[in-house]
């Protein structure tokens, strides 16, 4: 490889105007837990797809770290097998392309708490830098059980692998501007942390502390793969690329917001994790709160990491954590019993494999939040999520206030439906607006019509994979779609206040809803107290 | 024309497209709707018959009076919606359209093949497609129209996406009136793209009369009759006559992966200094056996023009030389450029190779000579297609004092649909292309021949002459602001 030169660095003039997103600088991805399920099903296929589609630098290299002893051949074959199975692009189609990718792969066997292993890793990384010209740029990816995070981070620090002189993070909009820094090391070190990020506020704070002893905040990329979904990013486009919504996007015109994440699946093979986590930790605390922030945030000053995340954090700060008394009034939990889904009988939660028969873990959660700021004061945000609901559906429904006067006498006031704007996220992405229209005939009778813009029907394409997007963002240094420290802690603060409250009130008798129903009856009563009903999704 | 709607096959239906209906049905060779792509519901496949009678289909497009096209389309949408309801679909058919696409076809046969390409991208660009076709047989044929709606079922099995297809056809004598039939059919307030797959549009009535309504023109220099002449003309005339019209070239899209690969060599900051030391560039382009005798250097020139414009290489008079040799039937094009005190030479060589498109790039090599002590070592950067049939390229870096590095990468040939798809994503001027085109124009106008004989391949002609009256028509009136799509 060519020697590093001490010449001032300038932007690559040949990149100008190329429509494909810029490719990251040469770098090494160090994947801890490379023998795990996530790595094999998602990460390695995503990396290979990126590589084949020329979104990775030519000399991109990957060093896998795991406990299992593996020969180089076995390691390569294992990766190849998974890529063949799960990636869009198959190694067998183009052996030459695979061979080039495989040249950059290597494996370091080590226990995560063994300092010797990190010495081996350091030697390996230096060798890769030398042989493949990766310039000391490193992205660590923690795809291990979460209890291994602190020890890995500590050891990376102790082995001197975390700290080059911390480089000012390139601004987040993907235009990686290299400061002219003659004669110095411009290499970077970043770390991606998978979820779950802690299991309550103290554990999340502790983990943040432990990581920040070694890495600076702008080196840390906390993944929430929901944000990598194109559909979720489209919420921002819908809100901030259209001028007509902003004036009515406030308490003056909006009555309430409902965010629904319905799953028809049960716990599947995740019982051991899920029974310790529950619906609140698994879904509401992270993904659903992220959706809420995207709906409620103020327009950011720029579409870049700090501005966007500043606004999201402000929303979270405006939601007051519950006191134990408020928890009882503002949340509902449930657990499914036996029932049927799509006409097939399914067992109850306590009968699922790996779940204790007396489990008190919730599989359904509903909550009401208020965002106490000028825009949203008094507007309730209803969030609900459950497993084994009748169908899979994720949507955000914004209900507007009704017309102030019932002008058309032939239709009684209670037949008059309020306008609803729905952002559909899964499985069919789209936007629909419900409004009143006249039924054909001499009399004026009203009927609600649903004007539906279906993303899939208008653009018949598959959206890109969330992990591909997030991996390449992290390599480029764009953290817009990653969760910042304050966001994580604020989200945990809210969730922890609920968990604390639940500890103090006697748990409901589980199971309290049938698999295949829309959740416990108490949830309907809960929203009915406010004079509202859950939307039928 | 009479303001009646002709039902398919009804007496009095214009006798051209779809009239010689037979029941070849779906799946017949050349049918534009492959079975697996066809929607389960009322598909009205495009059925303009070509005149050698090989692609005739049942389910003819509906002939309609030119001023009745809109009304007929509304009826067709109703048919589609009813068919969808009959299938038990719970959701209404959405009629979201994002753009107008006018396509020029010199024959019905060409029209069929262009529509085939467009159907593949309906999913990403739901649009109103207007095909402007010339009836080759009946020069006197007045302007006529046919309408149909196409629904495409995405391969992954989602919902169908529908696009409206209007064919406006005329005999060669009536062509000058075609634009007047097209303009009222354009959907309001949506951008208008014009895809001109064959030849040079600039002297044609259809283009000239439409040009004020267009936002973006997409030509294909791979199919110019005299590529160098037309490129040179484009580099000057576009700026003066159609300054507001954004023009792009499908052939430029074919270069995108090449530009990415070349740019990729210099992404690492420590590699960028090499860009300032390049001394020689060698580009090989394919001379397809079946196109023998018709040399098309458009891609090679645009690639060289791109490097020169991005890296600030200056052109001078007489920089473009065609050098004949005994060994090759095609002269080597040789350019000399300057950057400060440094000379840069660029060679464009033809190599015999089978490719889809005349003049496809085969390889590029950037050479950096070794220099004074203390400076950067000599290095070569090359990308070359492999000779295997696996659609791969090899990127190679050789540098003084270290071992060469090589990487095989996938380089799937881009189909016409892929390329068109990309061009439809952008509404505005492509400055990088326009810069490259200006430089190419400068190359060509500096042409100097060094051989004794006039090279057979290098003729500069400017197509058909246009009348003085045409030339004086006002052109390039400013367009209204264009709304941009999501993410655009």
| Partner B contacted by A374 (CB < 8 A) | no
Smallest Cβ distance to B94: which of A2, A94, A454? A454
Q: Do residues A241 and A494 lie in contact, with contact meaning Cβ atoms separated by under 8 Å?
A: no
- Nearest-by-Cβ selection for A57 from B154, B267, B402: B267
- State the nearest Cα–Cα gap between B137 and chain A, in angstroms: 38
- Please tell me the predicted confidence (pLDDT) of residue B58: 25
Write down the pLDDT at residue B372.
67
pLDDT at A352: 94
Is residue A448 pLDDT above 90, yes or no? Answer: no
Reference B154, options A461, A465, A427; nearest CA is A461
Residue A70 has what pLDDT?
94
Min CA distance, A97 vs chain B (Å)? 5
Comparing CA positions, the residue from B286, B262, B282 lying closest to residue B274 is: B262
Interface residue of A8, A457, A461 to substitute, partner B, most B CBs within 10 Å: A457
Q: Decide if A12 and B266 are in contact by the 8 Å CB cutoff.
A: yes
What are the chain B neighbours of A14 within 8 Å (beta carbons)? 259, 262-263, 266, 275, 307, 310-311
Cβ of B267 within 8 Å of Cβ of A19? The answer is: no
Interface of A with B in 233-292 (CB under 8 A): 234, 237-238, 241
| Chain B (369-398) residues lying within 8 Å, Cβ to Cβ, of chain A | 376-377, 379, 386, 388, 390-392, 395, 397
pLDDT at A466 over 70: yes
pLDDT of amino acid A337: 96
Shortest CA gap B401–chain A (Å): 8
A287 noted as active-site residue: yes
d(CA B47, CA B131): 12
Look at the pTM and tell me if it is higher than 0.80.
no
Weakest-pLDDT range from A74-88, A385-399, B290-304: B290-304
Residue of A nearest to B429 (CA): A17
Whether residue A316 has pLDDT greater than 80: yes
Mapped to the 3 state alphabet, what secondary structure does B227-286 carry?
Answer: HHHHHHHHHHHHHHHCCCCEEEEHHHHHHHHHHHHHHHHCCCHHHHHHHHHCCEEEEEEE
Nearest CB among A1, A95, A454 relative to B159 is that of A454
Peptide bond into A410 cis (omega under 30): no
Query: Residues A199, A225, A287, A385: which is the catalytic one?
Result: A287
d(CA B211, CA B463): 18
The CA distance from A391 to A536, in Å, is 11
- Whether A99 and chain B come into contact, CB under 8 Å, resolves to yes
Name the band, by pLDDT with cuts 50, 70 and 90, for residue A66.
Answer: very high
Give me the pLDDT at residue B132, please: 95
Contacts of B388 in chain A (CB under 8 A): 96
A1 in contact with chain B, both atoms CB, cutoff 8 A:
yes
Q: Find out whether B150 and B122 touch, Cβ atoms under 8 Å.
A: yes
What ipTM describes this predicted complex? 0.71
Distance, CA of B129 to CA of B178 (rounded, Å): 15
What pLDDT sits at residue A256? 97
Contact of B163 with B126, CB cutoff 8 Å? yes
Q: Which residue has the higher pLDDT, A54 or A281?
A: A281
Query: Is pLDDT above 50 for A169?
Result: no
Rounded to an integer, the average pLDDT of A336-362 is: 94
Q: pLDDT, tens digit, for every residue of A191-234?
A: 999 989 999 999 999 999 999 999 999 999 999 888 888 778 88
Stretch A239-261: mean pLDDT, rounded?
94
**Residues of chain B contacting residue A462, judged by C-beta atoms under 8 Å apart:** 154, 156
Contacts of B158 in chain A (CB under 8 A): 456-457, 460
Inter-chain contact B386–A462, Cβ cutoff 8 Å? no
SS (H, E, C) B103-120: EEECCHHHHHHHHHHHHC
User: Model confidence over A472-498: pLDDT tens digits?
Assistant: 999 999 999 999 999 999 999 999 999
- CA–CA dist B403, B272 (Å, integer): 19
| Residue B152, token pair as written in the block | 């495409």
Q: What's the confidence (pLDDT) of residue B451? A: 40
Q: Do B260 and A459 touch (CB under 8 A)?
A: no
Q: What is the pLDDT of residue A146?
A: 92
Task: Select from B354, B232, B374 the least CA-distant residue to B297.
Answer: B232
Q: What per-residue confidence (pLDDT) applies to B26?
A: 27
Q: Nearest Cβ partner of A237 from B158, B376, B487?
A: B487
What per-residue confidence (pLDDT) applies to A432?
A: 86
Interface test with B, best of A179, A430, A460, A462 (most B CBs within 10 A): A460
- Residue of B30 and A272 predicted with greater confidence: A272
pLDDT at B87: 59
Least confident range from A150-154, A331-335, A338-342, B25-29: namely B25-29
Instruction: Decide if A19 touches B, using CB distance below 8 A.
Output: yes
For chain A, what is the mean pLDDT? 88
C-alpha distances (whole Å) from A270 to each of A295, A511, B110, B190 are: 30, 19, 57, 49
What's the mean pLDDT in A134-160?
Answer: 94
Compute the distance between CA of residue B410 and CA of residue A360 in angstroms, rounded to an integer.
Answer: 53
Q: Which carries the bigger pLDDT value, residue B354 or residue A257? A: A257
Q: Among A8-12, A263-267, A392-396, B254-258, whose mean pLDDT is lowest?
A: A8-12
Q: What is the mean pLDDT of residues A294-305?
A: 93
User: B376 vs A5: CB contact, 8 Å cut-off?
Assistant: yes
CB spacing of A100 vs B402 below 8 angstroms = no
Question: In degrees, to the nearest 5, what angle opens at C-alpha B420 toward C-alphas B419 and B425?
Answer: 100
Residue A313: how many other CB atoms lie within 10 Å: 21
Q: Give how far A358 is from chain B: nearest CA, Å.
A: 42
Does A78 score more than 60 pLDDT? yes
Encoded tokens for A457? 């029907």
Contact across the interface for B260 and A22, Cβ inside 8 Å: no
Rounded average pLDDT over A157-186: 53
- The arithmetic mean of pLDDT across residues A510-520, rounded, is 95
B135 touches chain A (CB under 8 A): no
Q: What is the structure's pLDDT at B114?
A: 92
| pLDDT (0 to 100) of residue A35 | 94
What does pLDDT average to in each consecutive run of 10 residues of chain B (488 residues)? 31 35 30 31 33 30 77 77 61 68 94 88 82 91 85 51 84 90 88 94 92 94 92 91 93 93 86 91 86 81 96 84 83 90 92 85 94 77 85 89 83 88 87 94 72 36 35 38 37
What is the model's pLDDT at position A171?
A: 41
| Residue among B124, B262, B395 whose CB faces A459 most closely | B124
């Amino acid at each position: 490889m060519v020697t590093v030169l001490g010449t001032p660095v300038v932007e690559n003039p040949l990149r100008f105007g190329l429509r494909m997103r810029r490719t990251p600088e040469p770098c090494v991805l160090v994947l801890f837990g490379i023998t795990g399920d996530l790595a094999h099903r998602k990460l390695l296929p995503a990396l290979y797809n990126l590589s084949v589609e020329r979104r990775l630098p030519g000399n991109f290299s990957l060093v896998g770290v795991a406990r299992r002893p593996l020969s180089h051949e076995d390691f390569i074959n294992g990766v190849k097998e998974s890529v063949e199975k799960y990636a869009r692009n198959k190694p067998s189609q183009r052996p030459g392309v695979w061979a080039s990718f495989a040249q950059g792969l290597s494996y370091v066997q080590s226990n995560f708490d063994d300092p010797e292993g990190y010495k081996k890793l350091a030697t390996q990384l230096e060798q890769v830098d030398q042989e493949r010209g990766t310039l000391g740029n490193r992205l660590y990816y923690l795809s291990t059980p979460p209890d291994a995070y602190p020890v890995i981070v500590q050891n990376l620090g102790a082995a001197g692998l975390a700290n080059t002189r911390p480089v000012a993070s390139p601004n987040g909009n993907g235009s990686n501007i290299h400061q002219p820094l003659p004669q110095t090391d411009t290499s970077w070190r970043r770390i991606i942390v998978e979820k779950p990020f802690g299991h309550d506020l103290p554990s999340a704070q502790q983990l943040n502390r432990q990581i920040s002893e070694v890495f600076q905040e702008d080196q840390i990329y906390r993944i929430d793969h929901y944000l990598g979904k194109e559909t979720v990013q489209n919420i921002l486009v819908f809100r901030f690329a259209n001028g007509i919504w902003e004036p009515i996007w406030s308490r003056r015109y909006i009555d309430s917001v409902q965010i629904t994440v319905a799953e028809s699946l049960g716990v599947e093979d995740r019982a051991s994790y899920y029974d310790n986590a529950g619906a609140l930790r698994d879904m509401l605390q992270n993904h659903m709160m992220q959706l809420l922030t995207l709906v409620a945030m103020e327009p950011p000053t720029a579409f870049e990491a700090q501005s966007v995340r500043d606004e999201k954090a402000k929303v979270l700060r405006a939601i007051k954590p519950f006191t134990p008394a408020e928890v009882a009034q503002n949340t509902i939990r449930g657990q499914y019993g036996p029932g049927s889904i799509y006409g097939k009988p399914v067992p109850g939660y306590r009968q699922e494999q790996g779940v204790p028969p007396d489990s008190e873990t919730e599989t359904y959660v509903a909550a009401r939040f208020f965002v106490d700021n000028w825009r949203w004061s008094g507007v309730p945000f209803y969030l609900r999520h459950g497993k084994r609901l009748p169908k899979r559906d994720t949507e955000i429904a914004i209900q507007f206030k009704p017309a102030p006067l019932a002008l058309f006498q032939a239709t009684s006031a209670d037949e008059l439906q309020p306008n609803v704007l729905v952002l559909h996220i899964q499985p069919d992405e789209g936007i629909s607006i419900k409004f009143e229209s006249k039924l054909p005939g001499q009399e004026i009778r009203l009927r609600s019509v649903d004007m539906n813009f279906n993303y899939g029907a208008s653009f018949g394409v598959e959206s890109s994979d969330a992990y591909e997007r997030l991996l390449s963002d992290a390599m480029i240094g764009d953290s817009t779609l990653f969760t910042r420290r304050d966001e994580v802690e604020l989200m945990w603060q809210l969730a922890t206040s609920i968990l604390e409250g639940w500890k103090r009130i006697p748990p409901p008798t589980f199971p309290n809803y049938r698999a295949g129903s829309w959740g416990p009856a108490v949830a309907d009563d809960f929203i009915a107290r406010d004079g509202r009903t859950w939307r039928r999704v | 024309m009479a303001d009646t709607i002709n039902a398919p096959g009804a007496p009095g239906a214009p006798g051209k497209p779809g009239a010689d209906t037979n029941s070849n049905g779906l799946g017949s060779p050349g049918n534009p709707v492959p079975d697996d792509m066809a929607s389960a519901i009322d598909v009205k496949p495009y059925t303009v018959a070509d005149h050698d009678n090989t692609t005739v289909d049942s389910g003819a497009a509906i002939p309609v009076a030119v001023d009745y096209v809109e009304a007929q389309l509304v009826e067709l949408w109703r048919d589609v919606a009813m068919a969808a309801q009959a299938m038990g679909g719970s959701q209404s058919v959405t009629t979201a359209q994002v753009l107008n696409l006018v396509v020029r076809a010199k024959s019905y046969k060409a029209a069929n093949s262009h529509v085939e390409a467009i159907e593949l991208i309906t999913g990403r660009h739901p649009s109103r497609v207007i095909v402007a076709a010339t009836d080759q047989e009946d020069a006197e044929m007045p302007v006529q129209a046919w309408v149909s709606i196409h629904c495409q079922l995405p391969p992954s099995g989602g919902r169908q996406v529908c696009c409206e297809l209007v064919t406006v056809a005329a005999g060669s004598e009536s062509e000058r009136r075609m634009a007047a039939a097209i303009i009222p059919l354009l959907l309001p307030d949506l951008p208008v793209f014009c895809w001109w797959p064959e030849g040079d549009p600039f002297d044609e009535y259809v283009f000239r009369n439409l040009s004020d309504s267009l936002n973006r023109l997409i030509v294909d220099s791979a199919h110019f009759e005299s590529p160098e002449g037309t490129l040179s003309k484009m580099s000057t005339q576009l700026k003066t006559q159609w300054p507001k019209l954004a023009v792009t070239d499908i052939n430029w899209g074919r270069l995108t992966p090449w530009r990415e690969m070349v740019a990729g060599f210099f992404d690492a900051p420590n590699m960028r200094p090499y860009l300032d030391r390049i001394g020689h560039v060698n580009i090989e382009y394919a001379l397809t056996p079946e196109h023998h005798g018709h040399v098309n250097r458009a891609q090679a020139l645009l690639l060289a023009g791109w490097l020169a414009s991005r890296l600030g290489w200056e052109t001078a008079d007489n920089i473009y030389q065609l050098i004949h040799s005994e060994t090759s039937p095609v002269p080597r094009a040789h350019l000399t450029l300057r950057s400060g005190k440094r000379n840069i030479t660029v060679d464009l060589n033809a190599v015999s190779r089978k490719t889809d498109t005349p003049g496809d790039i085969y390889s590029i090599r950037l050479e950096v000579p070794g220099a004074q002590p203390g400076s950067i070592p000599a290095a070569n950067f090359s990308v070359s297609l492999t000779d295997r049939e696996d659609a791969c390229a090899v990127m190679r870096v050789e540098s003084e004092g270290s071992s060469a590095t090589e990487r095989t990468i996938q380089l799937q040939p881009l189909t016409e649909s892929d390329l068109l798809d990309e061009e439809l994503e952008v509404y505005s001027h492509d400055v990088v292309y326009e810069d490259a085109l200006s430089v190419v124009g400068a190359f060509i106008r500096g042409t100097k021949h060094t051989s004794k004989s006039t090279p057979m391949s290098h003729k500069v002609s400017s197509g058909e002459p246009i009348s003085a009256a045409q030339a004086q028509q006002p052109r390039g009136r400013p367009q209204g602001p264009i709304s941009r799509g999501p993410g655009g």
